[in-house]
């Protein structure tokens, strides 16, 4: 008994929607990073589901590269957020727009 492809795609769509909603609504930069990661994982789920249904390895290899890029994004992004938090004692996205030169 196998789970249908449509269930995976529905779940990926819901996860992506929750992540997009979180990025648009929340102002805390750390929460926004988590929502972006949720969106990337939703895309990964869709890629793996399609790769499984098509019996193709291309989806899994693409997921590997997406995970590497997501890890690099987290390292650089969290480094910037920690540096800003140490200087301003706040990590709200609305306050970060004041830092422009």
Neighbours of 34 (CB within 10 A): 16
pTM of structure: 0.82
| Cα gap 89→78, rounded to integer Å | 15
pLDDT 10s digits, 50-75: 999 999 998 889 999 999 998 998 89
Closest residue by Cα to residue 43 from 71, 20, 15, 69: 15
pLDDT 10s digits, 31-56: 888 999 999 999 999 999 999 999 99
65, 73 in Cβ contact below 8 A?
Answer: no
Residue ranges covered by each domain of the chain: 5-90
Return the CATH number of the domain spanning residue range 5-90.
1.10.287.3510
1 CB-side CA count, 13 A: 0
């Amino acid at each position: 008994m196998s789970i249908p492809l449509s269930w995976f795609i529905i779940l990926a769509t819901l996860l992506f929607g929750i992540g997009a909603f979180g990025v648009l609504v929340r102002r805390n930069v750390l929460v926004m990073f988590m929502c972006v990661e949720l969106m990337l994982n939703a895309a990964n789920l869709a890629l793996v589901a399609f790769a499984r249904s098509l019996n193709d390895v291309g989806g899994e290899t693409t997921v590997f590269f997406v995970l590497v890029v997501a890890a690099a994004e987290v390292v650089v992004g969290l480094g910037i957020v920690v540096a800003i938090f140490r200087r301003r004692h706040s990590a709200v996205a609305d306050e970060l727009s004041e830092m422009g030169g």
